[in-house]
Amino acid sequence: MRKTVVHLFHDDPDSLVTGSRVAQRVLETAGEHGVAVEVFCFGPAQRRLGAGASEAERTFDRQIDELVAAGVRVGACVNSARADGTEDALRARGLQLHVARDEILRFTLEGATVVTF
């Protein structure tokens, strides 16, 4: 199956909100085109998961949780989560935690289209 990966890296409000919203919008029609949607949070954006200090962070969290609830694989870097002390919290929210290096290579091996925000 073809795949689109939305890679959320930047932590500015526009990247957080727009990137997670784009994943939701792509999901709306991906199935009818035989395309899977996946989200991968890493770097600065991953550190914003659960922060909730700003309206953008709260919107980001809500949209990520909605994606997980819709069955989208939402991932993040396990090493970063451990370093930040967020591993348990992210797993509890349904995020898939793996080594970022391995996930990025998996996207290549799967021939996924990766869009970065």
What CATH number corresponds to the domain at position 108?
3.40.1260.10
| Residue listed under structure tokens 């793996």 | 98
Predicted local distance difference test score (pLDDT) of residue 52: 81
Predicted local distance difference test score (pLDDT) of residue 107: 98
Predicted local distance difference test score (pLDDT) of residue 1: 87
User: 10 Å Cβ neighbour count for 48?
Assistant: 24
Strands (E), the chain: 2-8, 35-41, 73-77, 96-98, 113-116
Task: Give the structural domain span for 108.
Answer: 2-116
User: 10 Å Cβ neighbour count for 110?
Assistant: 13
Number of domains in the chain: 1
Q: Please, what's the b/e burial string for 57-82 (b: 16 or more CB within 10 A of its CB; e: otherwise)?
A: bebbbebbbebbeeebbbbbbbebbe
- Give mean pLDDT in consecutive 10-residue pieces for the chain, a chain of 117 residues: 97 97 98 98 97 94 98 98 97 98 98 98
